[in-house]
Amino acid sequence: MSVEIVTKEDLQVFRIQLISELRDLLTKKQEPTKEWLRSSDVRKLLKISPGTLQNLRVSGRIQSRKIGGIYFYSYAELLQLLPSNISSSSEVC
Determine the Cα–Cα distance for residues 6 and 19; give it in Å rounded to an integer: 19
Question: Taking 80 as the threshold, does the pLDDT of residue 83 lie above it?
Answer: no
Determine the Cα–Cα distance for residues 69 and 50; give it in Å rounded to an integer: 15
At 25-72, the pLDDT tens digits run 888 766 657 889 999 999 998 889 999 999 999 999 999 999 999 999
**Torsion angle of alpha carbons 81, 83, 86, 91, nearest 10°?**
30
Q: Domain spans of the chain?
A: 36-87
Residue range 72-84: mean pLDDT, rounded = 82
CB 5 within 8 A of CB 67: no
Q: What is the pTM of this model?
A: 0.55
